[in-house]
Amino acid sequence: MWSPTLVLPFKNADPKLGSEPPGLDRGFTRDQEKGRAFLERTGGWESSKREQAMQVYLLGALRDTSLVGKYSSMHINTMYRFGYNHPRTVKLAYKYVSLTTLLESWFIDLQKDFAESWMLQKQAGG
């Protein structure tokens, strides 16, 4: 089911390539509330209000899906200007990937992080 000419020469990447750049989490905050705590906190609420809060809790990360495209564009701009290995390119790549995994409860502090990322790509000539 596999071709030795493809598989045998394969080598794993250097583990350091999987390390997030320092300070990446500065623009991200994590919702620390667990599901059980949420249910306890909202248990006495009227049904419609609790339903609305649950939708925000479960789907809040999807508020602005246009961010994925914006961060992708900023990453591409820095990639063309500085190359794949430049710290700006790597940082924006990690931010882009973080945005695509928002369902893990990562949220963006838009005013802080987007401005910083925008400046990174503007400095790249984008």
Calculate the average pLDDT of the chain: 75
- Read off the pLDDT of residues 74-101 as tens digits, 9 standing for 90 and up: 899 999 999 998 988 988 888 888 777 6
Residue 120: its pLDDT value, please?
67
Rg of the chain (C-alpha set)? 19
- Enclosing H/E stretch for 57: helix 47-59
Is pTM beyond 0.75? Reply is no
Q: Which two tokens stand for residue 61?
A: 């990360």
Classify residue 33 by its DSSP letter: -
Q: 106 - beta bridge partners?
A: 30
**Contact between 119 and 73 (Cβ < 8 Å):** no
3-state secondary structure of 38: helix
- Read off the pLDDT of residues 41-78 as tens digits, 9 standing for 90 and up: 888 889 888 888 877 766 665 566 677 788 889 899 99
Q: 30 - beta bridge partners?
A: 106
**Contact between 106 and 28 (Cβ < 8 Å):** yes
Q: Where are the domains of the chain?
A: 33-62, 63-126
